[in-house]
Amino acid sequence: MDNIIEFKEWFIKNFNAFEESLNGENTPLLHRVRKEAFKNFNELSFPTVKDEEWRFTNISPLLKYNFTLPSEDFKISDELVNKFLLNEIESNILIFVNGKFSEKNSKLLNLPEGTIVGSISDAMKNNPEIIDKYFGKYASYSNQIFTALSTAFTKDGAFVYVPDSKIVEDPIHIIFITTASEKKIIIQPRNLFIASKNSQVTIIEHFVSENDNIYFTNAVTEIVAEENAIIDHYKLQEESKNAFHIARVEIDQKRSSNFTSHSISTGGVITRNDINAHFNGEGGECTLNGLFLLEDKQLFDAHTLIDHATPLCNSHEHYKGILDDSSRGVFNGKVLVRQDAQKTNAFQKNNNILLSNNALVNTKPQLEIFADDVKCSHGATIGQIDEEAKFYLKSRGIGEKAANAILIHAFASDVIKSMKIDSVRNYLEDILSKRFNQ
């Protein structure tokens, strides 16, 4: 039997080799950031269920594996890519294969002048001034070990920069594909999305896999909405049912910006999503919606934070969970209204439906309010399929399966309807139909 190298040791041993393998992606600033992050990674320990923020999410199964960095250049077919397209007429597609940008599979047809869309490693070479201004500024790597790991080993990821007053009409669909491979690999997409003043963009982060391999995705996304910018962000996580997925999205919202996020999760054996939105100017709008569909022994954990640091901002949050078999869900939604954040409106809801007696949800809304002139509400429910409604449907000739499908669909419908992009909605409707009809 192989010597099992301890999870952390492996990365420590390989850091120098990794840094040496970099070429253009290494500006002096990035080098410093990586070094710092690596130092933090070295010093921090992995969270256990004794940490309040990880109480219900035991990651020890993840730490049992030795993951390695993907080394080869993988080629994938267009057929594989096509499986994950939202429709045939998408104009902006970025493909990452095992974490590495694949220009060959990507296309960018409809972007306004000055917009930069591509890989972050290219941006590090070609646009160091933008990278130096934004990279690593929002996802702090000082106290979060997975972010420290990602930052230390940053090599590739998606980069979107929309200049002032430009409107990107067609969504940018970023697909992270993990291919079948012998080795258990770790992929660490590191994304940076910037919408400059008065600009608008729709970005879809889409995580998929070729088969049901065991691997580890450790994703970090930093998003900046400058003054009056509008960002519509989607995350579709339908990875291998054996994959580990740990992801963090940090959003910085300037004055009068509008950020919307829809986080849809169906894959992964253990998935942890942290989404943290920070209002750093008056008049901001933030919507965080989510839908997770779990089965078997999947564990999904959504930790969200909406930080009302400035007055006159509105936030809306609605997460819904559908849990079957022995799956487990965690929703921890923190809304922080700081002392200066007067005239805040913050609304949060979390509704869950359990399709099996063995499924379980831990839901914890956390409102911390230090201002007095605010409107805030939150509510959480955990329920089952409504048997009366089901009997009503059956009494109209609708069978058990179809009746369940209809009611599950209905449960999810308000989150689905709140998504602005038709193609994403339809894609999700298809996932639901496939899961529950037949």
Partner 1 sequence: MLEVKNLHVSINGNKILKGINLTINAGEIHAIMGPNGSGKSTLAQALAGREEYVVTDGEVFYNGENLLELSPEDRARKGLFLAFQYPVEIPGVSNVNLLKTALNEIRKFHDEEELDAIDFLNLIKDKMKLVDLDESFLKRSVNEGFSGGEKKRNEIFQMAVLNPKLAILDETDSGLDIDALKVVANGVNKLKSKDNATIIVTHYQRLLDYIIPDFVHVLYDGKIVKSGGKELAFELEEKGYEWLKNGEEKVVTG
Tell me the C-alpha distance between 164 and 172, whole Å.
18
Q: Do the bridges between strand 116-119 and strand 328-337 make them parallel or antiparallel, or are there none, so unpaired?
A: unpaired
User: What letter does residue 208 receive in the DSSP assignment?
Assistant: E
Q: What is the nearest approach in angstroms of partner 1 to the Cβ of residue 329?
A: 20
Residue 429 contacts partner 1 per CB under 8 A = no
Q: What is the nearest approach in angstroms of partner 1 to the Cβ of residue 322?
A: 13
Tell me the C-alpha distance between 95 and 426, whole Å.
21
Nearest to 109 by CA among 165, 167, 169: 169
Q: What is the nearest approach in angstroms of partner 1 to the Cβ of residue 393?
A: 7
- For residues 436 and 405, the answer to whether their CB atoms sit within 8 Å is yes
| CB nearer partner 1, residue 29 or residue 398 | 398
* Stretch 133-172: interaction string toward partner 1, x if CB under 8 A: ----------------------------------------
- B/e letters for 37-60, b = 16+ CB within 10 Å, e = fewer, are bbebbeebeebeeeeeebbbbebe
Q: What is the nearest approach in angstroms of partner 1 to the Cβ of residue 400?
A: 7
| CB nearer partner 1, residue 370 or residue 392 | 392
Tell me the C-alpha distance between 436 and 402, whole Å.
8
| CB nearer partner 1, residue 242 or residue 404 | 404
Backbone angles phi and psi of 125, in degrees to 5: -80, -45
Q: Tokens 């590090």 identify what position?
A: 124
The angle at the Cα of 423, spanning 422 to 424, to the nearest 5 degrees, equals 95
Q: What is the nearest approach in angstroms of partner 1 to the Cβ of residue 260?
A: 21
* Stretch 22-61: interaction string toward partner 1, x if CB under 8 A: ----------------------------------------
| CB nearer partner 1, residue 241 or residue 409 | 409
| CB nearer partner 1, residue 32 or residue 394 | 394
* Stretch 330-369: interaction string toward partner 1, x if CB under 8 A: ----------------------------------------
Q: Tokens 């080394």 identify what position?
A: 71
Q: What is the nearest approach in angstroms of partner 1 to the Cβ of residue 361?
A: 20
- DSSP secondary structure, 153-191, as one string: T----EEEEE-TT-B--S-EEEEEEE---SS-BEE--EE
Q: What is the nearest approach in angstroms of partner 1 to the Cβ of residue 62?
A: 36
Number of chain positions touching partner 1 (CB under 8 A): 23
* Stretch 375-414: interaction string toward partner 1, x if CB under 8 A: -----------x-xx-xxxxxxxxxx-xx--xx-xxxxxx
- DSSP secondary structure, 230-298, as one string: EEEEEEEEE--TT-EEEEEEEEEE-TT-EEEEEEEE---SEEEEEEEEEE-STT-EEEEEEEEEE-TT-
| CB nearer partner 1, residue 39 or residue 409 | 409
The separation between the first and the last C-alpha atoms of the chain, rounded to the nearest angstrom, is: 43
| CB nearer partner 1, residue 64 or residue 417 | 417
Q: What is the nearest approach in angstroms of partner 1 to the Cβ of residue 405?
A: 9
Q: What is the nearest approach in angstroms of partner 1 to the Cβ of residue 290?
A: 17
Q: What is the nearest approach in angstroms of partner 1 to the Cβ of residue 386?
A: 8
| Residues forming a β-bridge with 336 | 307, 368
Tell me the C-alpha distance between 198 and 202, whole Å.
14
Q: Which residue ranges make up the site for partner 1 (CB under 8 A)?
A: 386, 388-389, 391-400, 402-403, 406-407, 409-414
